[in-house]
Amino acid sequence: MRVLAALSGGVDSAVAAARAVDAGHDVVGVHMALSRTRDQFRTGSRGCCSIEDAGDARRAADVLGIPYYVWDLSERFEDTVVADFLAEYEAGRTPNPCVRCNEHIKFAALLDKAVALGFDAVCTGHYARIEVRDDGTRELHRARDAAKDQSYVLAVMGPERLARSLFPLGEVASKDETRAEAAARGLSVSAKPDSYDICFVADGDTQGFLRDRLGSREGDIVDTSGEVLGRHDGAYAYTVGQRKGLALGRPAADGKPRYVLSVEPVRNRVVVGSAEELAVGTVEADRAVWFATPGSAAFACEVQVRAHGVPVAAVATAAPGGAVRVDVDAAAGLRGVAPGQSLVVYDGTRVLGQATVTGTRRPAPPAPGPTPPGTAGASSSDGGSDAVATPRAVPAGVHR
């Protein structure tokens, strides 16, 4: 099989390419230049796409004995990932640029170009697993190493692109194993620091990046009653659930911390409140991408709203047109979900689908029920509940 290996210049992509070579594939390495103004060197673990990274990718290709090319995708990256990032923040939402990069660059621009050139698949260093069922169905699953699992940011790719993808690191037990393998293969990137934060904000100052691009727009920070508590330089720089950097100058009446509850771009104001007011009972999302076709009935699942968040039990309902509603288990304690975040639906380790959060609703207060006459203080073998559990349907094509 002809395989295009995406070489970022890091240890993960280098080892993934090496494993593709070992598997007998005809492998060609390509480095994606995503920045229009690439630095000579990275700043420690921050940023990527520097000239240093391109050089590291080339050296890895030389060690593996595979052809190597650099593809300039900087214009596509700026027009899709960076533009989306700015537009989402400006609209009061909180995007995940890694999700958009996988959607628009790695598994759209890169894969489409690879297919046009006659390649069968693209190989990346993502930590996720692909399982193939007896009927040929390809499923996206969490990586064996839960700490490195990247299935969340890959969920947007959909089944067609999954069919042309290889993730050789999915079964790796830990990042230490990857580094040890790189060292044994003579790859100089074996000890290179991982990149983190937003790749195009190399100094880590996201608010400064937004301010430079969007300008200063002073406005009010208010509580839920509308009382002005402070000022901000731009509502776009805040996100739901944020606690630090509010600089309100005076504590809440109860002395507890305040958090961002909502961002209102039209009124250019930020609304803050208590931690309890961040509680989420229902999440609504749209633009769904499904690996398994959902039915009209609700189905039990787990959902995750952050790349390294904790999955929580929920019941999801998919509607026509790509809308999704998720009712979260009240005991899950889910809070601080922002519009624009990626909502990923799981069945165990398997990714069922992904959608973009449009809004949330707080949990409904428990309804007080009347006490039947003569039962006060009594208990029953079934806990005193008359509720009957209703079986939940699962998406078509999902195998328990």
Contacts 24+ apart (CB under 8 A), 116-119: 117/4, 118/2, 119/2, 119/3, 119/4, 119/28
The residue-averaged pLDDT of 102-128 equals 94
The residue-averaged pLDDT of 376-382 equals 37
Known catalytic residue at 98: no
Q: What is the pLDDT of residue 196?
A: 67
Q: Is 307 in contact with 266 (CB distance < 8 Å)?
A: no
The CATH number of the domain covering residues in 2-191: 3.40.50.620
Known catalytic residue at 199: yes
The CATH number of the domain covering residues in 279-361: 2.40.30.10
The CATH number of the domain covering residues in 217-277: 2.30.30.280
pLDDT over 90 (residue 388): no
Model pLDDT for residues 45-100, shown as the tens digit of each residue: 445 566 788 899 999 999 999 999 999 998 999 999 999 999 999 999 999 999 99
209 vs 85, 196, 333, CA distance in Å?
A: 11, 16, 32
Of the candidates 98, 123, 199, 301, the residue annotated as catalytic is: 199
Of the candidates 98, 101, 123, 301, the residue annotated as catalytic is: 101
If pLDDT is split at 50, 70 and 90, which confidence band does 380 have?
Answer: very low
Model pLDDT for residues 269-286, shown as the tens digit of each residue: 999 999 999 999 999 999
Q: Where in the chain are all domains bearing CATH 3.40.50.620?
A: 2-191
Q: Where in the chain are all domains bearing CATH 2.40.30.10?
A: 279-361
Model pLDDT for residues 135-177, shown as the tens digit of each residue: 989 999 999 999 999 999 999 999 999 999 999 999 999 999 9
Instruction: For residue 128, count other CB atoms closer than 10 A to its CB.
Output: 26
pLDDT over 80 (residue 382): no
Q: Where in the chain are all domains bearing CATH 2.30.30.280?
A: 217-277
142 vs 134, 137, 178, 308, 310, CA distance in Å?
A: 19, 16, 17, 12, 13
